[in-house]
Amino acid sequence: MKNRLLSVSKEDLNEWLTAGRRLTDPGVEDMQHEPFAGGGMRESHGDRARFELLLPRGVPFEEQLLTRCAVHMAKGAEKYSPRNWESFSDDDALQRAKSSALRHMMQWITGTNDGEDHAAAIVFNLMAAEHVAAKLERAAAADARAAAEMTEKP
């Protein structure tokens, strides 16, 4: 059965989620291998991200917080444009994301039932704030490197 939001099957999504992604690239000698009872061997999870742990067992697909976040982002993509949030890049955008995250947190904590998925909105705003903060940090580091290079030149 295809997921209408992602246009992939739930089986393919599950396979992708359980595959994990490497955060670092250790040397071959550092890798541990796990044999399977039915034959074959794979590298252990090691330091890979464990995306499958984001999905609580027994919770239907539509009720998973990750699915609800994807729905929240699909609505934003339709309202603004896909990946619009990735263009946020200044302190005003960072403060707006933090403010929105806190507002949605208060609405979620107090049980506000106004038809909006406040938990998904919290996750989105945290993700947006982290994205902008990282952009600002990279820009500041680049500025510092450029300034250092200017002072080093005769």
Tens of pLDDT, residues 123-137: 999 999 999 999 999
Q: pLDDT band at 105, cuts 50/70/90?
A: very high
Q: What is the pTM of this model?
A: 0.71
Q: pLDDT band at 4, cuts 50/70/90?
A: very low
Q: pLDDT band at 16, cuts 50/70/90?
A: low
* Residue 101 vs residue 29, higher pLDDT: 101
3-state secondary structure 84-102: HHHHCCCHHHHHHHHHHHH
Predicted confidence at residue 31, as pLDDT, reads 60
Predicted confidence at residue 25, as pLDDT, reads 41
Q: Are the C-beta atoms of residues 93 and 29 closer than 8 Å to each other?
A: no
* Res 101 pLDDT > 90: yes
Average pLDDT of the chain, as a whole number: 84
Indicate the Cα dihedral angle 91, 97, 99, 104, nearest 10°: 180
Domain ranges of the chain: 1-54, 61-154
Give SS3 for 37. Answer: coil
